[in-house]
Amino acid sequence: MATSNESSRDQANESTGEAGYRPLTGTLRLKRGLAAMLEGGVVMDVVDADQAKVAEDAGAVAVMALERVPADIRRHGGVARMSDPAMIEAIKAAVTVPVMAKARIGHFAEAQVLEALGVDFIDESEVLTPADEAHHIDKWAFGVPFVCGATTLGEALRRISEGAALIRSKGEAGTGNIVEAVRHLRAITGDIRRLSVADPAERYEWAKRLPAPIDLVTEVAEAGALPVPLFCAGGIATPADAALVMQLGARSVFVGSGIFKSADPPRMARAIVEATTHHHDPALVAKVSRGLGEAMPGLEVSTLDTRLADRGW
């Protein structure tokens, strides 16, 4: 189902190419390909060009341009929307690494604006206030790749069926508390493992229970992995947090408030980059964790008024 939508886009691409040499753009392979190039890396939230430079200097594989980091969105309350295009453009001009930006869940017009601005990846994000309480963006309609959050395997596969090229476990953004990220990663990877050993006849019941399209359920069962990379987001505040989620099966990490709400952002950023790459080397994680100063202030999840991870359907 998902694939046929994409191939119609590819065919449209090809037919425009008949008159002369014109390469294919915006294909599934290019979208998932960029996601694969970000593996083993750290995507950092930044609110201005200066922070973007700090992130790039520290070795970020990409930056996420947004007006307020999740910890501040949580504090501010109100409606959180797509960032000012001028701010996104300033960040694009400041760095050479890929630039991502967030659109509200279901807000395809914000996504159209971000695509027109030439951002490299769009995050359809629960950190912003949802615009549609039933539908996510039809991501097949875009040439730019999308990343979406998920708390379960079913949610991940529904986002992939809508065209997401990258999945991140949601965690609970802006808390500096890793517990929800661990819960979501374990839920997703645990179900992938169980599905991959299930009898083929049981896949139909899996599809009903998740719920998710049977062709994607079959694909995951046979490959033992999602058809797109799985990254981790939401609550990563230390190098050891990054090492933890990488060992739990994440292929990269998104760090939001954890860097620029810490005592020494350049050093914290660099330390999380090193710990992500060398997550199997505890001596190295110990070395980079030494003397970093205060991590961001943390929040107990049971005390939260708003649980961002509940947004998404």
Partner 1 sequence: MQASGAKVGVLALQGSTRLHVLALAELGAEPVEVRRPVDLAGVDALIVPGGESTTLALLVDSSGLRPALEDRLAEGLPVLGTCAGMILCATEVLDGRADQAGLGAVDIDVRRNAFGRQRDSFEADLDIEGMPGGRFPAVFIRAPVVTRAGPDVEVLARLAEGPVLCRSGAVMVAAFHPELGGDLRLHQSFLERI
Enumerate binding residues for partner 1 (CB under 8 A): 23-27, 29-30, 33-34, 36-41, 56, 59-62, 96-98, 115, 118, 120-121, 143-145, 251, 273-274, 277-278, 281
Name the β-bridge partners of 124. 103, 148
Pick the closer one to partner 1 by CB: 36 or 79: 36
Minimum CB–partner distance for residue 79 and partner 1 (Å): 28
Minimum CB–partner distance for residue 24 and partner 1 (Å): 4
Within 13 A of 31's CA, how many CA atoms are on the CB side?
25
Active-site annotation holds for 102: yes
Q: Which of 31, 92, 102, 261 is catalytic?
A: 102
CA 296 and chain centroid, separation: 21
Minimum CB–partner distance for residue 120 and partner 1 (Å): 4
Pick the closer one to partner 1 by CB: 74 or 92: 92
Cα–Cα distance, 95 to 22 (Å, whole number): 29
Whether the Cβ atoms of residue 295 and residue 110 lie closer than 8 Å to each other: no
Pick the closer one to partner 1 by CB: 27 or 129: 27
Pick the closer one to partner 1 by CB: 91 or 173: 91
Minimum CB–partner distance for residue 267 and partner 1 (Å): 13
Task: Kindly state the DSSP code that residue 130 receives in the 8-state scheme.
Answer: P
H or E element: which one contains 251?
Answer: none
HEC assignment per residue over 175-219: CCCCHHHHHHHHHHHHHHHHHHCCCHHHHHHHHHHCCCCHHHHHH
Go through 227-247 and write b for each residue having 16 or more CB atoms within 10 A of its CB, e for each that does not: bbbbbbbbbbbbbbbbbbbbe
Pick the closer one to partner 1 by CB: 212 or 228: 228
Pick the closer one to partner 1 by CB: 38 or 295: 38
Minimum CB–partner distance for residue 38 and partner 1 (Å): 7
Minimum CB–partner distance for residue 202 and partner 1 (Å): 28
Say which amino acid occupies 184. H
| Strands 253-255 and 121-125, sheet pairing | unpaired
Whether the Cβ atoms of residue 113 and residue 139 lie closer than 8 Å to each other: no
Phi, psi (rounded to 5 degrees) for 102: -100, 140
Task: Kindly state the DSSP code that residue 78 receives in the 8-state scheme.
Answer: S
Cα–Cα distance, 273 to 156 (Å, whole number): 25
Tell me the catalytic residues: 102
